[in-house]
Amino acid sequence: MKILQHKISSGFVALVALLVCYISFTRQPVEAYLFPRLISFFFLGLALWTFVKALLGRSKAGNGLSMDMFKNMAPGVAISAIYIFWAAKGLGFYTATTIAFFLLVTSYDPASHSEPKTWVKRAIITAGFVAIMYALFAKILVVYTPRGLFI
Amino acid sequence: MDFIFYFGEVFTLTSMLLLIGGTIGGLIMGATPGLSPTMTVALLIPFTFNMTPVHGLILLGAAYTSTVAGGAVSAILLKIPGAPANIATTLDGHTMAKKGEGAKALQLSFISSLIGGLFGVFLLIFLTPELAKLANEFKTPHVFWLAIIGVTVIGSLEAGSVVKGLLSGCIGMWLATIGFDDIQGVKRFVFHPALGGGVNIIPALIGLFAIPQVITMFSKGRFQTDMEQIQVKKHPIAAAFREVFSRKRALAIGTGIGSIIGLIPGVGGQIAGLLAYDQAKKFSPEKAKFGTGHSEGVIAAESANNAMVGPSLVPLLILSIPGSPTAAVLLGGLVIHGIFPGPNLFIEYPEVIWPFINSMLIGQILMCIFGIYIASLAARVAQVPQSVMAAVVLGLALFGSYAVQQSMGDVYVMAVLGTMMYFLERFGFSAAPLVLGLILGPIAESNFVSGSLMASAQDGTFAFFFTGGLNILLVSIVVLSIGLSLWSEITAKETER
């Protein structure tokens, strides 16, 4: 499993390196791509070395990902992706942050989900965090965040 | 002795408030496992935008100093190093705490951090201007090689494998070329409209250091922390001072090793702490006591990791080559305020750089005072559930990266780079060389392009970049840093077999 993961990750890096190298050596004007050509030459060389090592099963650096880790992170990554790539702009930063924060804290909180007290605690923590962020960014730093449907 | 004339700016109300706030915040963040000094400084950078360069740097410097020292709190009271630099502190510090000497261990840790830190900052004060004069000899090809050295040194030391470290550096340098080319104005590698303005350093730094931590916390699931905080009993501070000064050997070894390690680009505090602990043990007549709650272990480790802080800024301020990953993030902080480190830094920006360095001197003293008195509170904050910590860091990362240019494109860049970095780190790649590549890439490119233009009018590219004493020396450093790291990796593998 770990060997396959090494092959996929190093294969992906090698593919990116190949694309960068191809673009650098085919696009014009040459002067603009002088440095990318130099970098991509080493980038591709090192990426291919890593990929070949992975194919031969000799890539050992890094622990890879276990199925448990993947299952654990999946809900958090999904909530974060929706939050960052859609909700922040679609609903407004503060509304999206309130929802995402509450969902994340609830999903990963080791405390019981059947006790009403723990839900109140999570709601208070969420409200406190969003209030601090609002004070800090909207009032002190005067950052105009996307409003979306709400704020 | 120029630095003496710039203390005035440090003692203004705003500077002192920032210094105190940065110190207390840094101690708490440092004590929190998972929030490394590098990530703390990266998350703080967006808050410095509306500040003057001096105030921004004072805040970042205070946070850098105190997060390294704050990591000792959780190392001693919870047996969890707040940062990699505090791993060695756990060995004797936690055993002392278990024996009921928690307060003593904390006091020893902060006092030795203060002494090591002050020595390191004085080294920074006296060494940097002198070395800057020497660095004035550097011309276009030399600056190009220096940028390459920055990436190769940190690349060969930081990652799980030398090749992957160098590859991370290449990825960083490639990312730096995305956007409009400075000379021709040509769009390069713009695969998405969000990349039109290139990869902004700050969202990239936040993504590369914060998002992998967030995903790591997610990957632990509904993780119940079974950390048991040891209650701290009172201990007279004067006795702690006497103890530190009676252990001169450990203090000298820690301070000396930390200072030297800091000067070497890319090495960082983790190695400083462990190496100092090891050497203090070797030279101690009480070797057997190490690991059983011996004060020399705490003194050596903590004086080393804080002595490293000041010298790690020497190569950064003179040559743009950071001495540690956190110093690499500080380089980003300097650049966004329009300050480009180099040999002329002390001539062009004395009113910014000297107050910044002076504030680190004062910051060391504040760190010791606040550290001793709020250690128990910091340890309590360190027990905040990982679920809350992950959500807080994610929220800060989103707001912080958006605030830089008020652009959603930066937020997307932060998220994509951070997620990719998490997966790459699982396979032995490292964020530090990638960041260095991203920061030093433009410096390397501009000097490479202008050097190539000059070379075509002179003796050709090879002669321009590879001949002359200084060029040969710099190229040798690049080759040696890679060669030695490869050699040690191969010999380590053979020993494993």
Mean pLDDT of all residues belonging to chain A: 90
- Using a 10 angstrom Cβ sphere, with 0-12 exposed, 13-18 middle and 19 or more buried, the burial of residue B490 is exposed
**Could you give the CA distance from residue B297 to residue A43 in angstroms, rounded to a whole number?**
43
Domain ranges of chain A: 2-55, 68-140
Cβ B223–A110 below 8 Å, yes or no?
yes
Confidence band of B435 (pLDDT split at 50, 70, 90): confident
Q: Give the Cα separation of A122 and A109 in Å (integer).
A: 9
Cα angle for residues B198, B205, B50 (degrees, 5° grid): 85
Find the closest chain B residue to A58 by CA distance.
Answer: B493
Query: What is the rounded distance in angstroms from the CA atom of residue B254 to the CA atom of residue B280?
Result: 7
Q: How confident is the model at residue B423 (pLDDT cuts 50, 70, 90)?
A: very high
Q: Which residue has the tokens 């006790």?
A: A115
Question: Is B157's pLDDT higher than 70?
Answer: no
Which pLDDT tens digit goes with each residue over B13-65?
Answer: 999 999 999 998 888 888 776 677 888 888 888 888 788 889 999 999 899 88
Which residue in the set A36, A46, A146 is minimally distant from B177, CB to CB? Answer: A36
Q: In the structure encoding, which two tokens stand for residue B451, read together?
A: 């050097």
What crossing angle do the helices spanning B386-405 and B201-219 adopt, rounded to 10°?
160
Exposure of B83 by Cβ count < 10 A (0-12 exposed, 13-18 middle, 19+ buried)? Answer: buried
Answer whether residue B192 shows pLDDT above 80. yes
Tell me which residue in A36, A64, A136 faces B427 most closely, judged by beta carbons.
A64
B373-407 confidence digits (pLDDT tens): 877 676 666 677 888 889 999 998 999 889 888 88
Contact state of B189 with A20 under an 8 Å Cβ cutoff = yes
Tokens 């603009």, residue located: A32
Domain ranges across chain B? 2-496
What is the distance in angstroms between the Cα of A81 and the nearest Cα belonging to chain B? 8
What is the three-class DSSP state of A150? coil
Enclosing H/E stretch for B191? none
Q: Are B301 and B95 in contact (CB under 8 A)?
A: no
What tens digit of pLDDT does each residue of B199-228 get?
988 889 889 988 998 999 899 887 665 556
pLDDT confidence of B240, banded at 50, 70, 90?
A: confident
Long-range CB contacts (within 8 A, 24+) of B141-144: B141/B447, B141/B451, B141/B464, B141/B465, B141/B468, B141/B471, B142/B470, B142/B471, B142/B474, B143/B443, B143/B447, B144/B444, B144/B447, B144/B448, B144/B451, B144/B465
Q: Which tokens belong to B130?
A: 């002198």
The two beta strands, B179-180 and B187-188, are antiparallel
The packing angle between helices B350-381 and B13-31, to 10°, is: 40
Alpha carbon of A139: minimum distance to chain B alpha carbons (Å): 13
Amino acid at site B244: V
Q: Which of B403, B408, B419 sits opposite A141 (nearest CB)?
A: B403
Structure tokens at B101: 């000497």
CB B437 within 8 Å of CB B151: yes
Residue-level pLDDT at A11: 93
